[in-house]
Amino acid sequence: MRRWLMLVVLMAGFAFSVPGHAQDSQTVISEEVVEQRARDIGRGLRCVMCKNESIEESPSTTAQDMRRIVRERVRSGETDAEIIDYMQSRYGDFILLKPPVQPNTYLLWGLPFLLLLLALLWFWRAARKYSQDQT
Partner 1 sequence: MRGLIPLLAFLALIVLLAVSILRGNSDQLSYKFLNEPFPEFELTELYDETRSVDQALIRGEITLVNIFGTWCTPCKAEHPKLVEIGETENLRLVGLNWRDTRDRAKSWLAQLGDPYDFVIYDRMGELVIAMGATGAPETYVIDAQGIIRYKHVGMVTDQVWAETLQPLIRQLESE
Burial of 73-83, coded b for 16+ CB within 10 Å and e otherwise, reads bbeeebeeeeb
Binding region for partner 1 (CB under 8 A) out of 23-31, 35-43, 66-74, 127-135: 66-74
> Which CB sits closer to partner 1, 13 or 103?
103
Contact 95, 48 (CB under 8 A): yes
Residue among 8, 49, 101, 121 that touches partner 1 (CB under 8 A)? 49
Residue among 34, 69, 84, 97 that touches partner 1 (CB under 8 A)? 69
Write the DSSP symbol of residue 29: P
Q: Does 52 bind partner 1 (CB under 8 A)?
A: no
Listed in sequence order, the residues at least 6 apart from 74 whose beta carbon sits closer than 8 Å to its beta carbon are 29, 33, 34, 37, 38, 41, 83
> Which CB sits closer to partner 1, 37 or 63?
63
Smallest separation (angstroms) from partner 1 to the CB of 13: 45
Which 94-113 positions form the footprint of partner 1 (CB under 8 A)? 94
Q: Does 91 bind partner 1 (CB under 8 A)?
A: yes
Say how far apart CA 107 and CA 20 lie, in whole Å.
47
Which 22-41 positions form the footprint of partner 1 (CB under 8 A)? none
Closest CA to 65 of 87, 88, 44: 87
Smallest separation (angstroms) from partner 1 to the CB of 9: 51
